[in-house]
Amino acid sequence: MSQAPAGIVQELAERVQALETARRRVRGVVSSGYAAVDGLLPQGGFSRGGLVEWLAAEPGSGATSLALRAAREACGRGEHLVVIDARRTFYPLAAAAWGISLDRLLVVRPGNARDENWALVQALRSPAAGAVLAWPGDLGDHLYRRLQLAVEAGGGVGLLVRGGGAERRPSWAEARLRVDPVGTGEGSESRRVRVTVVRGRAARGRPWAEVRL
């Protein structure tokens, strides 16, 4: 009888551990920070221990702002927000503007894709992270499954901001929300975006809602 490769054995061990942890952990639901968006979701928010994809229809669509608002809600019990900033474009004061304490913000800037993937898995697995925010590139099925198992083990919320092209690719996220800008005003207070459910059934009637950032 042939021996299973060490990598497969390790992965199976990680899956068993994640499932056991998920059974022990008391789960909850986190608000998106917007009542209109919560109303689109069957549970009225995002599950702790789950992944959420914010699909940016175009650059500057507001997807990152929505993710930061959700991160604030997910860290409302004093947990940390971990930001995996491989692109080196994240501005920490942007998190502070959304009410996230800089004392509970950890920004990780990996030097390559391999380190980025490793950091993302480790952050999602940490029980100290109420939310993990990242802008990952192409996610293969195997890596995506690892991310899902990691966030199940950690119990936080994984917030993945991705380009609109990712909508056509397989996903392990519990919620996929496309963000489209629909209007701008003279000030940032007047900026509106449309959030559309692109995976699963919307909780009520129409699958979209408009919110002000």
* pLDDT tens digits, one per residue of 141-166: 899 999 999 999 999 999 999 987 88
Taking the CA atoms of residue 147, residue 123, residue 155 and residue 200 in that order, the dihedral angle to the nearest 10 degrees is -40
Query: Is there a domain that residue 1 lies in?
Result: no
Structural element, H or E, at residue 29 = strand 29-30
Summarize pLDDT for 31-78 with one digit per residue, the tens. Answer: 999 999 999 988 899 999 999 999 997 778 899 999 999 999 999 889
User: What does pTM read for this prediction?
Assistant: 0.82
- Domain at 168, CATH number: 3.40.50.300
Q: What's CA 93's distance to the chain center, in Å?
A: 19
Residue 201 pLDDT: 53
Number of neighbours of residue 111 by Cβ within 10 angstroms: 8
Query: Residue 5 — very low, low, confident or very high, per pLDDT cuts 50/70/90?
Result: low
Domain that holds residue 120: 6-212
Q: How many domains does the chain have?
A: 1
Residue 187 lies in a domain: yes
Burial of 110 (0-12, 13-18, 19+ CB in 10 A): middle
